[in-house]
Structure formats: C-alpha cells, structure tokens
Amino acid sequence: MQNIVNWFRRQLNNPQIIILAVILLALFALIIFAGNLMAPVIASIVIAYILEGAVKMFEVVKVPRLGAVLIVLGCFVILCFALIFGILPLVSAQALQLASQIPSWVADVQTALLQLPERYPDIISETQVRNFITTTAQFVTQLGQEIVVAWSASSVTGIISVVIYVILVPIMVFFFLKDKTKITGWFVNYLPDKDHGLTITVWHNVNRQMSNYIRGKFWEILIVGTVTYVTFSIFGLQYAALLSVIVGLSVLIPFVGAAVVTIPVIAVAAVQWGFSPEFAYLVLAYLIIQVLDGNVLVPLIFSEVNDLHPVAIVIAVIVFGGFWGVWGVFFAIPLATLVQAVLIAWPRSELEFEAIEKK
C-alpha cells in the first residue's frame, strides 16, 4: 500500500506529468462533449494531415510553402469534385438498383425456406419457418421506417452540414497547411516554459504516428477500392462500383471490416452466377485482394507506425467506436497510438523521474 501512495505522490509532485494529464483530460472532454460541433474542425485536420505529405514534396523542389499549399489544395478540390460528380452518381444509381432487387431476393429466400420442412420434416416444421419469416419481415419493416423517419428529420440539418463542409472545411484546411508552424507554436506558447518537455515528447511521437496513419489509410482505401473495382469489372460482377466503394471503406475497421464486407460481395456473386465456376473465381480473386492488402500493402504503407497487438486494435475499435461512432472507429488506432505514446513516455523509475525533472 505504501508503494502505491509513494507512486501517486511522485506523480502529483511532478509538474510535467500534471500538465500532460490536464491536457489529455481536457482534450478527451472536448471531444466527448463537443465532438459534433468540432466535426468540421476534425475533418479539416484529417485532410490537412493527408495533404501535408504532398506539400512537403513540393517544398523539397524549392516551391514556396504558400504556392505548394495552393497547388495541392487545388488538386484535392478538383479530385473531390470529380468523385462527387463522377463516381457518386454511379454508386447512387447502383445502390438504388440493388435496393429495388432486394424484395425479389427476399421472396426467393422465403420460397427456399418454405421448402425446408418438406426436405427435413424431422428437423424443422412449417410453423417454425413461417414464424421466422414473419419476425424477420417485421424487423426489416421497422428498420426501414426508422431510417425514413431519421432521414426526414435530419434532411434539413444534413443540407446545412453539407454547406458548412463545402465552405468552411477548405478554408480551414488552407490555414492549417499554410500556418502549421504558427498554430502549433501558438499552443506551445500557452504551456509553462520549463514544464512542458514531457508533453512535447508525447506530441512529436503522436503527430508522427497519426500523420503516417491517416495518409496511409487514405492510400490504402484508394488502392484497395481501385483494384477491387477493376477486378469486379473484369469479371462482370453487378454493382461493381458500389461494392468496390464498400470494400475500400472497410479497411477503416481493422479485421472486422473485411469480414463484414465479404457478406454482400459473396451474396451478389451467388445471386448473379449461383455456385458456378465464375462464382468460385470471383471469390478467389476477392480473397487474394484481401490477403495482399493485409500481408503486403498494410506492412508497406504503415512501416513507420508503431505495431499494436491485434487485441489492442480490436479493443480500441470497440471502445472508441462506442464513444464516437464512425469517427471513433476511424481514429481508433491513432487514439490507441496516443495511449501507447503516453505509456511509453510516462516515467516508471526513479532515474526516469529525475531525467524528466531536469528537462
């Protein structure tokens, strides 16, 4: 017990540890209680992280930072418009087409289920099958009604949010890129002059890890989505664009995303071809893409990111996803990296405490 008391006494007597703890608590409190309000700012920071690598490439060839920022941001805006007006309509059309096909698929499934009592009368009865169909239909109907109500209630808010993102986010991204040094310096100026060494150490580590992760995820989504679309198009799979977008975005959720997105891919292929050689070749090609992504692309892109145990990643996805939904899932690994960086930098021995106090 005395050892625990001594440990807390050492922590509370070290101003650098107190400052770091206060900053972390304030950051998490801000995200928890004002996360929705801060969403445009968070989105701008993410985009700035993505574009910072390209800006540095222009700076290497002696392009002034302002010019590099304008070039990179202009190209990014053009790419976004190309995606919005080129790929988004195609994906939307395929999504509507898929939605229109679902009732006929459900009817086919019901017909197949009703044949089970005839084939296996000792295992399942017709009453059980009909009860299952009724319960499933009620659940799907209720889910659809909830989606329609939620969409109707949030449609105006959604339009306003789109306007805010289209206008404010590019402006904030421009200033985050152009005045990155000034902004970070402004925050540092508010820290105590002699007691922010531990905080700066953690910040540099987290900044490097997060920038590598965000840029790596961007390229992973782009590469996996593009390769998947080309592969599905070669095989002639229906809804290739829609499924490719889903597969590309699935890399945001480690392990779980790849498993979940496999279900619609196999379902569409089975409906289109049945259990034929075309179906087997398509599934094999899709599995090869997933294997190459996990064993070649991810280690190559994220070579500079600290390794996290798969259990730690799954726990981070569950915890932060439960707190902040989709944003929490996307930032699960960066936030886990933040925790890891704090734990690594946190002093554990007397010598480390003395080294921290001398900084």
282-322 per-position pLDDT tens digit:
999 999 998 888 888 877 776 655 566 667 777 877 877 77
pLDDT of residue 233: 92
Strands (E) located in the chain:
none
140-195 per-position pLDDT tens digit:
666 555 555 544 444 445 556 666 677 788 888 898 888 888 887 787 777 666 66
10 Å CB burial of residue 23 (0-12, 13-18, 19+) is middle
pLDDT of residue 154: 47
Which of 116-120, 263-267, 308-312 is predicted with the least confidence, judged by mean pLDDT? 308-312
pLDDT exceeds 90 at position 199: no
Of 310, 268, 301, nearest in space to 286 by CA: 268
Residue that has been written with the tokens 């922010």 in this structure: 196
Residue 286 lies in a domain: yes
Residue 118 lies in a domain: no
* Torsion from C-alpha of 165, 169, 171, 172, nearest 10 degrees: 150
Residue 115 lies in a domain: no
Residue 247 lies in a domain: yes
pLDDT of residue 155: 46
252 HSE (CA, 13 A, CB side): 18
pLDDT exceeds 50 at position 104: yes
pLDDT exceeds 60 at position 219: yes
Mean pLDDT of 210-224: 82
In three-state secondary structure terms, 194 is coil
pLDDT of residue 156: 44
Mean pLDDT of 206-224: 80
> How many structural domains are present in the chain?
1
325-339 per-position pLDDT tens digit:
666 776 777 777 777
For residues 159 and 243, give the distance between their C-alpha atoms in angstroms, rounded to a whole number: 26
Residue 132 lies in a domain: no
Residue that has been written with the tokens 């379902």 in this structure: 267
Q: How remote is the C-alpha of 315 from its chain's centroid?
A: 15
Residues 200-223 as b or e (16 or more Cβ within 10 Å = b): ebbbebbeebbbbbbbbbbebbeb
pLDDT of residue 224: 92
27-83 per-position pLDDT tens digit:
777 777 766 677 788 778 878 887 888 888 888 888 888 899 999 999 888 888 888
CB 250 within 8 A of CB 261: yes
Residue 315 lies in a domain: yes
pLDDT exceeds 60 at position 136: yes
Of 218, 214, 220, 231, nearest in space to 297 by CA: 220
Q: Write the DSSP string, 263-308.
A: HHHHHHHHHHH-SSHHHHHHHHHHHHHHHHIIIIIHHHHTTTSPP-
Residue that has been written with the tokens 């969403």 in this structure: 39
Which residue range is the domain that position 273 belongs to?
Answer: 196-359
Q: Which two tokens stand for residue 322?
A: 């439960």
Q: For the chain, how are helix, strand and coil distributed in percent, rounded to 5?
A: 85, 0, 15
10 Å CB burial of residue 194 (0-12, 13-18, 19+) is exposed
% residues pLDDT > 70 (the chain): 77
CB 342 within 8 A of CB 24: yes
Residue 252 lies in a domain: yes
pLDDT band, residue 263 (cuts 50/70/90): confident
In three-state secondary structure terms, 124 is coil
pLDDT of residue 141: 63
Residue 240 lies in a domain: yes
